[in-house]
């Protein structure tokens, strides 16, 4: 960890190669009048809107919509099967069936999906406007960096843990899903950021416009918290619905059994106590890993992912990276990367990276997951390394 100490509060970083734009954003955070104690920048950090993706910000008495982001509740779920091997033919059939059953990209289900949560949606205009569309979006993958991946756990134990956690490191087949709140999160984020920006202009606030805030003791701030919470719930249920569908498919083809899934968010804000003070912790592209808490850190397409155990490091506000983190923009990746080279990087893995339009999610568009994991040894302990067998990108 290194520290930048020439702003109002320190910036603690778990990487040495933070891009100029992301560092400027981190410095802006450190000079917010309501920022608390220090800013934490995770090893996968890169420039985002207002706040670096891979950043953790604690605030007093305010919430900042842009420091949660537009995909509220984006996160990971992972499940372990009792399979220790799976054939290539079965993998191909399973992937084909997943593609048939789970809409990806901008596609939705053709019919409303059942969920009792729709009947208790908060009576908030922006949620009511999206509710009908959301009924068909539940259990759909989305696009960009969202994925469904079938993986094989490393056959060697990565660390000495108690008996229950050792069972995670024994060469079993896993399924991992990365997805978020679909259009719910996007519309909520943009709606409340616009309102926050308008209010800050009216108050003659000197905070950067991209960091416009809502006071927590204000009706609008509480409304955003309620809307965000509903988007988090929707995102978690959507991942669970997809995982259940994948479980049915894998169990049907292989006869396997599955264990209880792990599910985590990495775009959200929550009231927590740190350094003896109740603060609103914004994690944008970061996961919470309290001491002993399990987390999920995916690599890029074609590289290892990890199930980890948190070390509860207070300097990170009990946080860690949420993945490998982008090494270049989507536009740059499509411009400079070579499709054949990237396909070679994924040799032996079933995938759908079959055109230059998919290069924005190529392995080389991301940072090295090995470097990211090395840089956060004081934040998490890896429990199992997961190697990809087949991956379906949105």
Q: What is the mean pLDDT of the chain?
A: 94
* Every domain of the chain and the residues it spans: 2-327+366-393
pLDDT in tens, 230-282: 999 999 999 999 999 999 999 999 999 999 999 999 999 999 999 999 999 99
Contact (CB, 8 A) for 134 and 118: yes
* pLDDT at 289 exceeding the cut of 70: yes
R_g over Cα of the chain: 20
Above 50 in pLDDT, residue 103?
A: yes
Once rounded to an integer, what is the mean pLDDT over residues 1-14?
A: 97
1: its two tokens: 């960890």
pLDDT reported for residue 165 = 46
Q: How many helices (H) and strands (E) does the chain have?
A: 9, 17
Q: Where are the beta strands (DSSP E) in the chain?
A: 2-4, 11-13, 39-46, 53-59, 62-63, 75-80, 147-153, 173-179, 214-215, 262-265, 267-274, 277-284, 286-288, 294-297, 305-310, 319-321, 380-393
Contact between 109 and 139 under an 8 Å Cβ cutoff? The reply is yes
**Of the candidate ranges 64-73, 212-221, 351-360, the one whose mean pLDDT is the lowest:** 351-360
Residues paired with 263 in a beta bridge: 77
Q: How confident is the model at residue 156 (pLDDT cuts 50, 70, 90)?
A: low
Share of the chain above pLDDT 70, in %: 96
Residue 394 pLDDT class (50, 70, 90 cuts): confident
Give the active site residues.
Answer: 322
Q: How far apart are CA 192 and CA 305, in angstroms?
A: 34
Tell me, what's the pLDDT at 161? Answer: 44
Q: With pLDDT > 90 as the criterion, what percentage of the chain qualifies?
A: 91
pLDDT tens for each residue of 115-126: 999 999 999 999
pTM metric for this prediction: 0.94
> For position 166, what pLDDT does the model report?
43
Contacts (Cβ under 8 Å, ≥6 apart) of 350: 88, 91, 92, 95, 389, 390, 391
pLDDT tier for residue 182 given thresholds of 50, 70 and 90: very high
Average pLDDT over residues 21-29: 97
Indicate the range of 27-41, 77-91, 162-176, 372-386 predicted with least confidence: 162-176
How do the residues of the chain divide into helix, strand and coil, expressed in percent and rounded to 5?
35, 25, 40
Check residue 169 and give its pLDDT: 52
Average pLDDT over residues 344-371: 91
**Which residues, 6+ apart, have CB-to-CB distance to 20 below 8 Å?**
none
CA pseudo-torsion sign 113, 119, 124, 129: positive
Find tokens 């778990």 and name the residue.
Answer: 14
Supply the pLDDT for residue 65: 98
Q: Kindly give, in sequence order, each residue whose CB lies less than 8 Å from that of residue 190, ignoring residues fewer than 6 positions away.
A: 70
Q: Which fold does the domain 2-327+366-393 belong to in CATH?
A: tRNA-splicing ligase RtcB (3.90.1860)
Give the DSSP H or E segment for 342: helix 339-345
């Amino acid at each position: 960890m290194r520290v930048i100490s020439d702003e109002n509060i320190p910036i603690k970083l778990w990487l040495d190669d933070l891009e100029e734009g992301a560092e400027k954003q981190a410095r802006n955070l450190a000079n917010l009048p309501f920022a608390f104690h220090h800013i934490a920048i995770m090893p996968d950090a890169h420039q985002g809107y207002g706040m670096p993706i891979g950043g953790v910000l604690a605030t007093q008495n305010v919430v900042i919509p842009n420091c949660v982001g537009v995909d509220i509740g984006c996160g990971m779920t992972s499940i372990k099967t009792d399979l220790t091997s799976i054939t290539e033919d079965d993998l191909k059939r399973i992937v084909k069936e997943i593609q048939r059953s789970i809409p990806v990209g901008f596609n939705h289900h053709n019919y409303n999906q059942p969920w009792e949560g729709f009947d208790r949606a908060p009576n908030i205009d922006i949620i009511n406007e999206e509710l009908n569309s959301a009924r068909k979006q539940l259990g759909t993958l989305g696009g960009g960096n969202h994925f469904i991946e079938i993986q094989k756990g490393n056959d060697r134990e990565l660390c000495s843990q108690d008996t229950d956690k050792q069972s995670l490191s024994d060469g079993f087949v896993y399924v991992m899903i990365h997805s978020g709140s679909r259009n719910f999160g996007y519309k909520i984020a943009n709606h409340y950021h616009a309102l926050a920006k308008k209010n800050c202009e009216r108050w003659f606030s000197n905070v950067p416009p991209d960091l416009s805030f809502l006071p927590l003791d204000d009706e609008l701030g509480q409304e955003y918290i309620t809307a965000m919470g509903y988007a988090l719930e929707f995102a978690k249920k959507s991942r669970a619905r997809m995982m259940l569908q994948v479980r049915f498919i894998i169990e049907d083809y292989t006869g396997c059994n599955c264990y209880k899934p792990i599910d985590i968010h990495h775009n959200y804000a929550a009231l927590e106590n740190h350094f003896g003070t109740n603060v609103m912790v914004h994690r944008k592209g970061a996961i919470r890993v309290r001491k002993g808490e399990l987390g999920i850190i995916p690599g890029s397409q074609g590289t290892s992912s990890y199930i980890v155990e948190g070390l509860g490091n207070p300097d990170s506000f009990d946080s860690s990276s949420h993945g490998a983190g982008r090494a270049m923009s989507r536009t740059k990746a499509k411009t400079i990367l070579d499709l054949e080279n990237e396909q070679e990087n994924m040799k032996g893995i079933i995938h759908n990276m079959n055109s230059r339009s998919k290069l924005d999610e190529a392995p080389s568009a991301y940072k090295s997951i090995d470097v990211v994991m090395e840089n956060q040894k004081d934040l998490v302990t890896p429990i199992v390394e997961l190697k990809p067998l087949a991956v379906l990108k949105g």
